């Protein structure tokens, strides 16, 4: 289900809108800066570049995107918020799949401008992708701290299967070695695991994914390589 509501807020909220941000809460959030669940953009100049942030939120823990706020946290607002919303939602409809759930509304500032707020909910239909008309390959994004990065093959498998029940793995000599290694070294990458255990990449990948899905390991996505550590 996708929600794209147009709600213009003043400084008071009705009971039905108690979960929406007002200007005071907006200022408080912006003061803390960008993070895993918060992203700032000044305007929707290139919507195809912004939708990856929304997809990343849906694939991770959900979050808020503020249009009209600078990277430095200056709340300036946008002059034509309705046009900005139209451009962004057209890009969401054209380039994001499967559909994810979000809410869009506007908060009026003292200067007469508005901040466009997108609240993205963590999805149960992961993974979500961006596929632009200029690129035949869909790309999956995830959120890591205050950055949006492209998900690895392993991360996409984990997103797709993270709600599967009854996951199990064979605890053999390789798994025993890995547990001991991580107790001493804290983390390992796929390539390191494959080399140290003399495994083909596909098998090393399969073992790491199963261990994450079985809640034995946790994964920290990275721009170059993911890192795996004990839970």
- Residue-by-residue pLDDT tens, the chain, 231 positions: 344 433 343 333 333 455 799 999 999 999 999 999 999 999 998 999 999 999 999 999 999 999 999 999 999 999 999 999 999 999 999 999 999 999 999 999 999 999 999 999 999 999 999 999 888 899 999 999 999 999 999 999 999 998 887 777 778 999 999 999 999 999 999 999 999 999 999 999 999 999 999 999 999 999 999 999 999
Asked if residue 105 lies in contact with residue 7, where contact means CB atoms within 8 angstroms, the answer is yes
What pLDDT is attached to residue 6? 36
Q: Are 27 and 16 in contact (CB under 8 A)?
A: no
Q: What are phi and psi of 134, to 5 degrees?
A: -85, -5
Q: How many Å apart are CA 43 and CA 71, to the nearest integer?
A: 11
Of the candidates 67, 64, 102, the residue with the CA atom closest to the CA atom of residue 81:
67
Q: How far apart are CA 5 and CA 185, in angstroms?
A: 48
User: What is the pLDDT at residue 204?
Assistant: 97
Residue 102, SS3?
strand
d(CA 7, CA 176): 55
Neighbours of 1 (CB within 10 A): 8
Radius of gyration (Cα) for the chain, nearest Å? 20
CA proximity to 129, closest of 222, 52, 44: 52
Choose among 132, 150, 159, 163: nearest CA to 225: 150
| Domain ranges (residues) in the chain | 8-150, 153-230
pLDDT at 17: 52
Cα 81 from Cα 37, distance rounded (Å): 22
Bridge partners of residue 130, in order along the sequence: 96, 139
Paired tokens of 85: 């919303």
Q: Which residue has the tokens 């009705």?
A: 14
Architecture of domain 8-150 in CATH? Answer: 2-Layer Sandwich (3.30)
Question: What is 153-230's CATH number?
Answer: 1.10.10.10
Lookup: tokens for 154 = 């392993």
Return the residue matching tokens 């139209």: 86
Cβ atoms 128, 98 nearer than 8 A: yes
Q: What's the pTM value of the predicted model, to 2 decimals? A: 0.89
Q: Tell me the β-bridge partners of 188.
A: 228
Alpha helices in 19-129 (DSSP H): 23-31, 47-59, 81-95
């Amino acid at each position: 289900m996708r929600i794209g509501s147009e709600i213009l807020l003043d400084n008071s909220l009705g009971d039905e809108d108690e979960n929406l941000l007002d200007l005071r809460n907006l200022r408080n959030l912006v003061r803390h800066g960008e993070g895993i669940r918060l992203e700032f953009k000044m305007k929707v100049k290139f919507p195809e570049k912004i939708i990856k942030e929304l997809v990343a939120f849906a694939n991770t823990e959900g979050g808020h995107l503020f249009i009209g706020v600078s990277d430095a946290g200056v709340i300036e607002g946008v002059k034509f918020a309705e046009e900005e919303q139209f451009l962004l939602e057209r890009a969401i409809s054209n380039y994001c799949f499967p559909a994810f759930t979000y809410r869009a509304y506007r908060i009026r500032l003292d200067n007469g401008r508005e901040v466009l707020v997108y609240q993205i909910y963590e999805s149960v239909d992961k993974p979500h992708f961006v596929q632009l008309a200029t690129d035949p390959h869909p790309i999956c994004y995830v959120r890591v701290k205050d950055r949006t990065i492209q998900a690895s093959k392993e991360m996409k498998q984990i997103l797709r299967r993270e709600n599967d029940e009854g996951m199990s793995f064979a605890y053999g000599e390789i798994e025993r070695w890995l547990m001991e290694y991580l107790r001493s070294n804290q983390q390992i990458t796929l390539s390191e695991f494959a080399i140290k255990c003399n495994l083909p990449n596909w098998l090393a990948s399969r073992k790491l994914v199963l261990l994450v899905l079985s809640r034995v390991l946790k994964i920290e996505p990275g721009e170059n390589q993911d890192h795996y550590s004990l839970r």
